[in-house]
Amino acid sequence: MIAELGHYFTVLALGLAILQAVFPLIGAARQDGRMMIIGRPAAYGQFMFSLAAFIALTYSYIVSDFSVAVVARNSHSLKPLLYKISGVWGNHEGSILLWVMFLALFGAMVAYFGRNLPKTLQARVLAIQAMIGVGFYLFMLLTSNPFDRLATVPFEGNGLNPLLQDPGLAFHPPFLYLGYVGLSVAFSFAIAALIEGRVDPAWARWVRPWTLLAWVFLTIGIVLGSWWAYYELGWGGWWGWDPVENASFMPWLVATALLHSAIVVEKRDTLKSWTVLLAIIAFSFSLLGTFIVRSGIITSVHAFATDPERGMFILMFLALVIGGSFLLFALRADKLQAGGMFAPISRESGLVINNLFLSVAAAVVLYGTLHPLLSDAIFGVKSSVGAPFFNLVFGFLMIPLVMIMGLGVHLKWKRADIKGLLQRLKVITGLSLLAVVMTLYITYGGEIMPAIWMGLGVWLLLSMFQELGSRIKLGQVPLSNSLRRLTRQPRSSWGMSLGHLGFAVGLIGIIATSSWGLEQQKVMRIGDSMAIGDYVLTLDDVVPVAGPNYSAVRGIITVQPKSGPSFVALPESRTYISSPMTTTEGSVKTTMTGDLFIVIGDAQSSGRWGVRVYYKPMQVWLWIGATIMVIGGMISLSDRRYRIGSPQGKKKNAKLTAAKETKGSAAHAV
Amino acid sequence: MRFLLIPLLCLTFSLTAAAIGVDKDRLSDPEQEARAQSIMKQLRCLVCQNQSIVESDAGLAVDLRGIVREQVKAGQSDRQILHFMTSRYGDWVLLQPPFKAATLLLWLGPLFLLLIGGYFVFRYVRQKPTTVLTEPLTADEEKRLQQILRENDT
């Protein structure tokens, strides 16, 4: 009964989405207020019905209703409640329902928070949002209905893969999807702007917070996934350039570019058609990511053939949305007149070059991910594009990007003085060179490239601090005055500073952990020792442990650091009862200087165990940096300009703001 | 993010005793072992999903690790070992694809895009204004602007 209700709600949501897609669009074209006004209640209703459908499916999981096919396939009555719920989106059908529910949520949010948008713009945005929704509802109802019943009801479900029974991964897909779907708002705004033939700073002011929100969610989602891969998979890796990872990274790169180019539109009324194009590309990557991951096409061309109905629908939908919006862009982009001009050396130029590198980076990831597929399909040649390729090419792309980032934040709008800037950056550049030398000294005999990278990371970090310092006139005015300025910085400035600082911190972590990681492995008997870096490990004992749905062996390992007290690490190797599968629960000892990561394997012959240990220098910096970036994004979102209910800036004020910026005084706010 | 691959991995994993890729027979010379490890990282575990043979417990990965160690011990160069692997399994075994006609786009694409993009950026930032950009401020606005600027400075 509940599942049928869920099915019914989905159909109702589809009906409302069709209304929401058709009437406001016609209304906007005819300037008919009564037709346009339909969009808002339709958006609320659509969200309510899709939420009800989602709750219905969740209920079926919680009560373990195995007459529902997806529940039987993916759940188990003995699973903890958290994983019963996370099981809802742990499969194709349920994840599509979650996706479309989020889409409806964002539609309802645009309807609610966008009440003071121009009427035609809001009507069009809602209509386009609903069109995407129609596609998803149809996809779900026609090819992947989560509410399908089974004719013969099994007594027990198949259960969820033990590796996925983890809090980090339980929340990873929802955040990722909030990010993907959040980009739909920027997309809808872009298409609406193309239809209207108008992009102005007010438009950019609207697009930016939505993009930022999506970016924050996307970042959280990616980092959660990366963190899970790090501690759960037990290989000590946090990023493998796996097609599935790449699928989430591409929209992130483009969303980051979009965040920056929208600033130029908002502040300087230029770079409009490029920003619109980025919004379209960002969402196209989201769709591509969602479908490609779920259809399994990346793993093998042949996966498509196993479910041709789904595959054809996906292809047609992608072609329609992406092709259609590019066509519209080609036809209408010339309507978007460029506004303010700027000199080749200016904040604008810096942001344009940032966009160039981020876009090329996204293209590299896209082509690298698709190359094996194309090579197989076109030439019939199997080929691999793996981590070594991406690390190499990405490394080269990142060097100029980091440099432009460190310089760009200091540049003034319209026209900047590069000589003066380089002069002012002398001290930190010197310090960074010192960092290179020190790194070479510490890692004597090692490679040179990591040391150069380290210098670059330090330089970026210092550059961000110097920018903050110059904004509060540190050293130019009395300290108390500077501190007062610091407290008066708008939140969007804090967002920019923290976002970039977080990036620099994370970058330093990435450089250290990927350049100077240590790894040791040994087959050990009880009483054996092995050394790694400054640590000596001794296997004291191995004991059996019984968990709720697994049995495990637990190693008791005493770790003696070169200096300081010893500690005991308890890595486990778990064998799950329901599915014959072994997972490793590594023991991680985290400090600011590095993680000691110990993994134990199954018993080998005659009382011996395989033990693998990693030392990951400054690994935690990566997680801290990512957290700072997310916090920066959130603080920026809470800026007064974006806060709910704040009246739209008057035209006159906007002009004043623009005029102010030409003087370059308030030019640093992001 | 790899969660979809895991079920596939389970099928291909052979759950051998050393389930975490710890080999009994490592090379006694640490320098040689390090070299073997760096070669292993470049080789794809052919029965796995996008993993190198270092990170896999599949029987094939264990065998390939053994072969790499043997050849390192026998004094083969990195190049020779990689060549041996590609002659046996094709380019597919290399995680970093070789530079050849079929991968031209892959290797030169980024550079090409940067050049094209760079050209457009160059043209864009050099263009001359075509329209009058802003109306001058009215006297009232100018006064208010000065006032705001003064407030900002204090």
Same domain, B39 and B12: yes
CB environment A183-207: b (16+ within 10 A), e (fewer)? bbbbbbbbbbbbbbebbbbbbbbbb
Q: Name the minimum distance, in Å, from the CA of B97 to any CA of chain A.
A: 6
Q: How far apart are the first and last CA of chain B?
A: 50
Helix or strand run (H / E) with residue A268: helix A243-268
Same domain, B61 and B110: no
Q: Is the pLDDT of residue A657 over 60?
A: no
Q: Residue range A128-157: average pLDDT?
A: 93
Instruction: Evaluate whether residue A230 is within a structural domain.
Output: no
CB-side exposure of B151: number of CA atoms within 13 Å?
A: 9
Q: Per-residue pLDDT tens for A513-542?
A: 999 988 888 888 899 999 998 999 999 999
In the block, tokens 């043979």 appear at B53
Q: Per-residue pLDDT tens for A388-437?
A: 999 999 999 999 999 999 999 999 888 888 888 888 899 999 999 999 99
User: Which residue, of B61, B93, B125, is where some domain finishes?
Assistant: B93
Helix or strand run (H / E) with residue A627: helix A619-637
Q: Which range marks the domain in which residue B53 is found?
A: 5-93
Weakest mean pLDDT among A259-273, A287-301, A456-470, A507-521: A287-301
A651 pLDDT tier (thresholds 50, 70, 90)? very low
CATH number reported for the structural domain that contains residue B72 in this entry = 1.10.8.640
- Mean pLDDT (chain A, rounded): 87
Return the bridge partners of A483, or none.
none
Which of the two residues, A312 and A448, has the higher pLDDT score?
A448
Q: Quote the CA–CA distance of A490 and A605 in Å, as a whole number.
A: 64
Q: Which two tokens stand for residue B6?
A: 């895991």
Query: Using the beta-carbon criterion (under 8 Å), do B7 and A605 form an inter-chain contact?
Result: no
Q: What angle do CA A608, A610, A615 make, to 5 degrees?
A: 140
Q: What is the dihedral of CA A289, A293, A297, A299, to 10 degrees?
A: 120
Same domain, B43 and B118: no
Q: Per-residue pLDDT tens for A37-58?
A: 999 999 999 999 999 999 999 9
DSSP state of A337: -
Instruction: Name the domain count of chain A.
Output: 2
Question: Rounded to 5 degrees, what are φ and ψ at A568?
Answer: -110, 130
pLDDT > 70: percent of chain A = 92
Q: CB of B34 within 8 Å of any CB in chain A?
A: no
In sequence order, what DSSP letters do the residues of A68-93 get, joined into one string? BHHHHHH--TTS-HHHHHHGGGSSHH
Q: Per-residue pLDDT tens for A599-618?
A: 988 766 678 888 989 999 99
**Taking CA atoms, what residue in A is nearest to B11?**
A581
User: Which residue, of A114, A141, A165, is where some domain finishes?
Assistant: A165
In sequence order, what DSSP letters do the residues of A207-220 get, joined into one string? HHHHHHHHHHHHHH
- Return the residue in A384, A411, A528, A668 with the most chain B beta carbons within 10 A, the one to mutate for interface testing: A384
Nearest by CB to A235, from B55, B95, B97: name it: B55
pLDDT > 90: percent of chain A = 54
Would you say the C-alpha torsion A138, A140, A144, A149 has a positive or negative sign?
A: negative
User: What pLDDT, on a 0 to 100 scale, did the predictor assign at position A306?
Assistant: 58
Instruction: Name the domain count of chain B.
Output: 2
CB-side exposure of A626: number of CA atoms within 13 Å?
A: 19
Query: Using the beta-carbon criterion (under 8 Å), do B109 and A235 form an inter-chain contact?
Result: no
Q: Alpha carbon A175 to chain centroid distance? A: 8
- Return the residue in B16, B22, B47 with the most chain A beta carbons within 10 A, the one to mutate for interface testing: B22
Q: Per-residue pLDDT tens for A322-364?
A: 999 999 999 988 777 766 778 888 888 899 999 999 999 999 9
Same domain, B43 and B80: yes
* Helical packing angle, A172-196 and A272-295, nearest 10°: 140
Q: CB of A244 within 8 Å of any CB in chain B?
A: yes
Q: CB of B90 within 8 Å of any CB in chain A?
A: yes
Same domain, B121 and B143: yes
User: What pLDDT, on a 0 to 100 scale, did the predictor assign at position B11?
Assistant: 37
User: What pLDDT, on a 0 to 100 scale, did the predictor assign at position A24?
Assistant: 95
User: What pLDDT, on a 0 to 100 scale, did the predictor assign at position A137?
Assistant: 96
Nearest by CB to B106, from A237, A353, A368: name it: A368
Q: What angle do CA A356, A357, A361 make, to 5 degrees?
A: 120
Question: Rounded to 5 degrees, what are φ and ψ at A68?
Answer: -85, 125
Instruction: Evaluate whether residue A581 is within a structural domain.
Output: yes
User: Which residue, of A147, A165, A183, is where some domain finishes?
Assistant: A165
Q: Quote the CA–CA distance of A129 and A185 in Å, as a whole number.
A: 7
In 3D space, the residue among B72, B89, B88 whose CA is nearest the CA of residue B34 turns out to be B72
Q: Per-residue pLDDT tens for B99-117?
A: 888 888 899 999 999 999 9
Query: Using the beta-carbon criterion (under 8 Å), do B103 and A383 form an inter-chain contact?
Result: yes
Q: CB of A272 within 8 Å of any CB in chain B?
A: no
Please answer whether residues B95 and B108 qualify as being in contact, where contact means their C-beta atoms are separated by less than 8 angstroms: no
Same domain, B57 and B14: yes
Same domain, B33 and B79: yes
Instruction: Evaluate whether residue A302 is within a structural domain.
Output: no
CB environment A623-637: b (16+ within 10 A), e (fewer)? bbbbbbbbbbbbbbb
Same domain, B53 and B26: yes
Q: Name the minimum distance, in Å, from the CA of B122 to any CA of chain A.
A: 8
Which residues 78-107 of chain A have a CB within 8 Å of chain B?
90
User: Which residue, of B75, B93, B111, is where some domain finishes?
Assistant: B93
Instruction: Sort out which chain B residues have CB atoms less than 8 A from A578's CB and list them.
Output: none
Say how many CB pairs under 8 Å bridge A and B: 204
User: What pLDDT, on a 0 to 100 scale, did the predictor assign at position A644?
Assistant: 46
In sequence order, what DSSP letters do the residues of A180-209 get, joined into one string? HHHHHHHHHHHHHHHHHT---HHHHHHHHH
User: Which residue, of B54, B69, B93, is where some domain finishes?
Assistant: B93
Same domain, B116 and B137: yes
Q: Is the pLDDT of residue A107 over 60?
A: yes
Reported pTM: 0.88
What was the ipTM of the complex prediction? 0.80
- Return the residue in A160, A521, A525 with the most chain B beta carbons within 10 A, the one to mutate for interface testing: A521
Q: Name the minimum distance, in Å, from the CA of B55 to any CA of chain A.
A: 6
Which residues 623-662 of chain A have a CB within 8 Å of chain B?
652, 655-656, 658-660
User: Which residue, of A99, A132, A165, is where some domain finishes?
Assistant: A165
Query: Using the beta-carbon criterion (under 8 Å), do A388 and B41 form an inter-chain contact?
Result: yes
Same domain, B72 and B17: yes
CB environment A246-285: b (16+ within 10 A), e (fewer)? bbbbbbbbbbbbbbbbbbbbbbbbbbbbbbbbbbbbbbbb
Nearest by CB to B133, from A339, A660, A665: name it: A339
Same domain, B58 and B84: yes
Same domain, B88 and B106: no
Q: Is the pLDDT of residue A304 over 70?
A: no
Q: Quote the CA–CA distance of A235 and A612 in Å, as a whole number.
A: 9
DSSP state of B135: P
Please answer whether residues A88 and A164 qualify as being in contact, where contact means their C-beta atoms are separated by less than 8 angstroms: no
Q: Per-residue pLDDT tens for B55-92?
A: 877 888 888 999 999 999 898 999 999 999 999 888 88
In 3D space, the residue among B35, B108, B106 whose CA is nearest the CA of residue B68 turns out to be B35
Query: Using the beta-carbon criterion (under 8 Å), do A379 and B102 form an inter-chain contact?
Result: yes
Instruction: Sort out which chain B residues have CB atoms less than 8 A from A161's CB and list them.
Output: 3, 6-7, 10
- Diameter over CA atoms, chain B: 86
Q: Which two tokens stand for residue A384?
A: 């691999």
User: What pLDDT, on a 0 to 100 scale, did the predictor assign at position A663?
Assistant: 40
Q: Which range marks the domain in which residue A10 is found?
A: 1-165
Return the bridge partners of A536, or none.
A531, A560
Q: Is the pLDDT of residue A11 over 50?
A: yes
User: What pLDDT, on a 0 to 100 scale, did the predictor assign at position B130?
Assistant: 52
Please answer whether residues A324 and A317 qualify as being in contact, where contact means their C-beta atoms are separated by less than 8 angstroms: no
Q: CB of B145 within 8 Å of any CB in chain A?
A: yes
In 3D space, the residue among A539, A520, A535 whose CA is nearest the CA of residue A608 turns out to be A539
Q: Residue range A82-92: average pLDDT?
A: 88
